[in-house]
A and B are shown apart, each in its own frame.
Chain A
Amino acid sequence: MPHLLLAHLLIAPQSPNLEIGTNFTATCMIINTDKFTADDLYWNLSQATVSRDQYTKINESALNVTVPIIGEKSEWLFCLCKKVSPYFALNKDKCIHGIYLTKGYRPGKPENLSCQAVQETEYISTTISCKWDPVGHQTTNVPTSYTLTVAVHFSSTTYNVSTQENHAMVHFVSSFPTHMMLEIWVEAHNKLGRIESEHLKEDAGWFVKTNPPSDVKLISEKSFPTSLLINWTHPIPKEYLKLTYQIRFCPNGSQSWTYVPLVDTAMDIQSFRLQNLQPDTVYVTQVCCKNSRNGSGYWSNWSTNATVRTSEDRPGKPDLWRIIAEGDGINERRVQFICKDPVLANGRITGFNIRIQDQKVPSPVNRSESGSFTILQQIHLADKKSVKVYVTADNSVGKSVEALLVIPEKSHELKVWPQGGRLWLEWKPPNSTALSEYVVEWVSGDQTDWQRENRNTRRTAIKGNLEKFVCYNVSVYPMYSGRTGKPASTAVFLEQGAPLEAPAVRLNGKPGHDEAELVWKELPQRRRRGFITNYTIFYTSATKKQKITVPADTTSYTLKSLTGNTKYDVWIIASTINGSTASFNHSFTTLKYAPGEMEGIVVGVSLGFLFIVVVTMLLCVYKKDAIKVNFWPRIPDPGESTIGNWSPDYPLKAERPKENGLCGVSVLDVDVCDGKCVFEEDKASLPLKKDKYLSEEHSSGIGGSSCMSSPRQSVSDSDEGGDMADTTASTVQYSSVVASNGYKGQTPNSQPQQAIFSRSESTQPLLDSEENPDTLLQDGSRQSHRFPRRPCSTHTAGSDDGTNPGDIMEQQGALESLDFCPLEEDCEQPTADGQSAAPVSNYMLQLGGYRPQ
């Protein structure tokens, strides 16, 4: 206010809200000064000066301006004073005043107000939601607000809610005012005005949207195959709302709903019977509901689907037809009766019953599962005979009504046959006295010709030039004084020949494992050169050739029972009565595996492998000890030897009997190489040792441990042996250790000084096997095992002459026939003088010298 008191200009009105599209007039008044007049004033709208045409001078101190309000952007309107005096320069800020023009639109009348209260559990929600369409524009500076008002009549209760949106909710106290009258409207308002929508004045139930009907059930009854009963439960007690229902249904899979007329469901019902349905069809049904009062309320959502199949019923009439072909005999036709399932099968068709003319009992025929129709029966029918055929279809409920088909006798109105290079015609005259003449016409492709015959003519020959192998359609037209009657026509060849070609056969799709579908096109008429009587399909694999004959009207055939992974050649032969022509080969290879077979094999192998693995694992677990013994035998540990417990005072006498019982023989096999090696080494070492080797050190192993239980150590003197090896390759020194103690762990020799040492200087030639050092090396161990099986007595007997070749051979033969014997098996009664005999007789071939145990 102090500022205003000092100011010299003042605009009225202050900060107005202006409606866009109108004109606004403002007045600028000069106050607190007389330094200038209204003539010195001017107006600026934003930055631009307003034209003086828009000014109106009220008096010397007041100036009006009228400006059109355009554009939505708010702007400033200034009143200013011209620079007319030095006073202005000094009081510049007092000579300007501005107002802010806020622009906007008047609110539009809200339209399409609608309100809805939904059902919650048993009650109706205490909230009613309303929405409306705003009308008109609004600016950010002049926004439009809405106030929704719901007035409950008779109770003088009014609810208000304001919003900036175009929807709002009103919450009732405690409960929805069921059966009360509601008046609802919305008011749009802003700085420029306010306006109310149309008032909705309706019963509260008018605004209710209930839940869909619950527990919708469809009931199919066996005795009513074309009807279904629907039951449902009211979603809300009828004290709240009386409902009307809507029902829709369609066959399962179809989206084309059929709606039950509302007049049929307008009552307060809880069940309805759908009628005129198709038997044995799955139907889906939904139900919804709304307030039964006309024109009020909202339809609920559709209920969940209720689905059921109608009962089966007797089938409808089957679709009976026939195929007529030329018969095998003269004046005879081959008639094949075929049948499709009835359009109204009303269940699953299990079969048909065909009855021909005078048959009393119909013949049942099973329904064909492949193909689109079932071949019922084939008969040969004389041309002059007609026949009636009756067919019924069966399903689980019963039989259909009979379908009738009459095959009339073959028409003989026109008969055409070639004879003598001409085509002859014979026909029956029509039953008309108005007949004047006949016209005989023959047509082939685009060529037409005709001739006229007298009214009394019954037989004639075509006079034109006809070609062979061309199909002519011959017609005889009765003429009635220029008027053409109904013709009799037939197709005929002057002469038939083999077709020019056979149709190219190909596969339809890919071949299967054991079947392939062949297709071919019908031959063009001009390539046939006769009536095609049939097609013959040949198909060959590497091993066999097969053929199938199919009718002339066939253009596809499925080969079955083929061998998998086999190449087939296939061709087709088209035949007329005068010849046949074959098509080119078409090759294909059947699949190795039928669909799913490979998967089966893989699964089987996997399961088998898994089984083996499991069994192996189980064996390993349960036979762990046996496997361990077999594959990793326990090696005696010298460290665990009982030698440490041996008594040094072990009685020698106690060992005697064992010595006497000696029977085992330990053999040292020494081959040439070994002999050499050993002796060569020994040559160097022997002079130093010159004495005797302890057999413990040189002939241990099998030879030293197998049979000799004597505690005496055997000592081998290899001096002579070394010499022998040097002199002849075919001889070997046999060194026998008759007393050896083998392992250190065995019974120790308590009298090492009394060890018995024996030596053989046999010159026995080497065995064949012994001559092969490699073999010997490999078999040395094994042979050394064999020898001990030789009975000791033999050696004892022959040991007197160690150089006897015969004995040596005998011994060798015996050695070859023997194998290793355990200590117990080698036991033999000792000789009388065991002490003397053993060293002499028990020569043992030592191979390889020392062998580790």
Chain B
Amino acid sequence: MNGHVKSMRFQQFMEPATTLLSLLLVMAVDSTRIVAASRNQQCGNSLQQTLKLTRLVQRESVNLIKTYKASQGEMAEHLCKASVNNVPDPNISGLEPSERLLSIYTHLQDFFPHFKRVYEQQTDLQSTTSPLLRELSHLNASSRNLADLITSFYRSLFPNLPVPEPAGGPTTLPPSQNVFQQKVYGCVVLKTFKELLSNVPRELRTLKSKVCRRIQIYTLF
């Protein structure tokens, strides 16, 4: 009788406890989802911002090439068809998303010394009020901003992976050149940079589908 009563009392105790536990579980899962959704949104926003800046820099690079050709005089079209050594590779490499994202970053970094060299060369060839110099400077600043955004995005996605220090290392600048070579070199640098930028949005979109969604999955389970 007592046991039965005890059993009855236990059962009476268990019912609200079960309900409470269920409620807590539901709340936990829900809060996890909210956090996951929030992180996913943040990832998407960062990526979106990076994409916007990429498109802007791409547009500026296209305009810059036009301005460059217009300011180089005759044979400008042929300048860009030549090939020059030591210009960074526009192709993005790596297997993992982290590697590919890092590849974008390092490729961008590789171009900055070349931009500087082209700017110095064109400063000698152009007047100080030339729109080319202004646009070169503008593109350089925008590209650095893009590199900063990508590294920030990389750090937010892969906080435990190291980011290689920029500058110096593998980038090799060409030796001294004559005027014609300078013109060819500048155009090839800009053209290659434009190719790199045309590859970046595709990569970023791929990353968005792979990385941002994966964050949500990781968080849920």
Chain A residues close to B by CB (< 8 Å)? 123, 152-156, 172-175, 177-181, 203, 237, 239-240
Shortest CB–CB separation between residue A168 and chain B, in angstroms? Answer: 22
| Residue B29 at the chain A interface, CB threshold 8 Å | no
Chain A residues lying within 8 Å of B137, measured Cβ to Cβ, are: 174-175
Stretch at the interface among B86-94, B138-146, B181-189: B138-146
Is A175 within 8 A of B141, CB to CB? Answer: yes
Is A239 within 8 A of B144, CB to CB? Answer: no
- Of all chain A residues, the one with the shortest Cβ separation from B139 is A175
Interface bits B41-67 vs A (CB < 8 Å: 1, else 0): 000000001001101101100000000
- Of all chain A residues, the one with the shortest Cβ separation from B50 is A179
Chain B residues lying within 8 Å of A152, measured Cβ to Cβ, are: 145
Is B59 within 8 A of A174, CB to CB? Answer: no
B105-155 residues at the A interface, CB under 8 angstroms: 137-138, 140-142, 144-145, 148-149, 151-152
Interface bits B16-48 vs A (CB < 8 Å: 1, else 0): 000000000000000000000000000000000
Is B49 within 8 A of A155, CB to CB? Answer: no
The 9 A-B residue pairs with the shortest CB-CB distance in the complex, in nearest-first order: A174-B141, A155-B148, A179-B53, A154-B152, A175-B141, A239-B56, A154-B148, A239-B59, A175-B138
A240 CA / B152 CA spacing, docked (Å) = 21
Chain A residues lying within 8 Å of B151, measured Cβ to Cβ, are: 154
Chain A residues lying within 8 Å of B59, measured Cβ to Cβ, are: 237, 239
Chain B residues lying within 8 Å of A203, measured Cβ to Cβ, are: 49
- Of all chain B residues, the one with the shortest Cβ separation from A180 is B145
A203 CA / B142 CA spacing, docked (Å) = 15
Is B53 within 8 A of A178, CB to CB? Answer: yes
Chain B residues close to A by CB (< 8 Å)? 49, 52-53, 55-56, 58-59, 137-138, 140-142, 144-145, 148-149, 151-152
Task: Compute the total of residue contacts between A and B using a CB distance below 8 Å.
Answer: 47
Shortest CB–CB separation between residue A182 and chain B, in angstroms? Answer: 11
Chain B residues lying within 8 Å of A239, measured Cβ to Cβ, are: 52, 55-56, 58-59
Is B142 within 8 A of A175, CB to CB? Answer: yes
Shortest CB–CB separation between residue B130 and chain A, in angstroms? Answer: 15
Chain A residues lying within 8 Å of B141, measured Cβ to Cβ, are: 172-175, 177
A179 CA / B49 CA spacing, docked (Å) = 6
A812 CA / B152 CA spacing, docked (Å) = 143
- Of all chain A residues, the one with the shortest Cβ separation from B138 is A175
- Of all chain B residues, the one with the shortest Cβ separation from A178 is B56
Sample of 19 more A-B contacts, CB < 8 Å, known A174-B138, A179-B145: A154-B145, A154-B149, A155-B144, A155-B145, A173-B141, A174-B140, A174-B141, A175-B138, A175-B141, A175-B142, A177-B145, A179-B52, A179-B53, A179-B56, A179-B149, A180-B148, A203-B49, A237-B59, A239-B58
Shortest CB–CB separation between residue A599 and chain B, in angstroms? Answer: 59
A175 CA / B55 CA spacing, docked (Å) = 16
A152 CA / B53 CA spacing, docked (Å) = 14
Is B144 within 8 A of A240, CB to CB? Answer: no
Chain B residues lying within 8 Å of A156, measured Cβ to Cβ, are: 148
Chain A residues lying within 8 Å of B148, measured Cβ to Cβ, are: 154-156, 180
**Can you report 14 A-B residue pairs in the complex whose CB atoms are below 8 A from each other?**
A123-B138, A153-B152, A154-B152, A155-B144, A156-B148, A172-B141, A174-B138, A175-B138, A175-B142, A178-B53, A179-B56, A180-B148, A181-B49, A240-B56
A174 CA / B149 CA spacing, docked (Å) = 17
Chain A residues lying within 8 Å of B53, measured Cβ to Cβ, are: 178-180
Shortest CB–CB separation between residue A41 and chain B, in angstroms? Answer: 65
- Of all chain A residues, the one with the shortest Cβ separation from B147 is A155
Chain A residues lying within 8 Å of B138, measured Cβ to Cβ, are: 123, 174-175
A181 CA / B144 CA spacing, docked (Å) = 14
A796 CA / B55 CA spacing, docked (Å) = 135
A172 CA / B138 CA spacing, docked (Å) = 11
A172 CA / B145 CA spacing, docked (Å) = 12
- Of all chain A residues, the one with the shortest Cβ separation from B54 is A179
- Of all chain A residues, the one with the shortest Cβ separation from B60 is A239
CB contact between B149 and one of A173, A180, A240 (< 8 Å): that residue? A180
A174 CA / B57 CA spacing, docked (Å) = 14
Chain B residues lying within 8 Å of A154, measured Cβ to Cβ, are: 145, 148-149, 151-152
Shortest CB–CB separation between residue B62 and chain A, in angstroms? Answer: 10
A178 CA / B55 CA spacing, docked (Å) = 11
Chain B residues lying within 8 Å of A153, measured Cβ to Cβ, are: 152
A172 CA / B144 CA spacing, docked (Å) = 13
Chain A residues lying within 8 Å of B152, measured Cβ to Cβ, are: 153-154
- Of all chain B residues, the one with the shortest Cβ separation from A240 is B56
Interface centre among B53, B56, B141, B144 (most CB of A within 10 A): B141
Chain A residues lying within 8 Å of B58, measured Cβ to Cβ, are: 239
Chain A residues lying within 8 Å of B55, measured Cβ to Cβ, are: 239
A227 CA / B144 CA spacing, docked (Å) = 49
Chain B residues lying within 8 Å of A179, measured Cβ to Cβ, are: 49, 52-53, 56, 145, 149
- Of all chain B residues, the one with the shortest Cβ separation from A152 is B145
Chain B residues lying within 8 Å of A123, measured Cβ to Cβ, are: 138
A178 CA / B137 CA spacing, docked (Å) = 15
Shortest CB–CB separation between residue B163 and chain A, in angstroms? Answer: 12
A239 CA / B55 CA spacing, docked (Å) = 6
A237 CA / B58 CA spacing, docked (Å) = 12
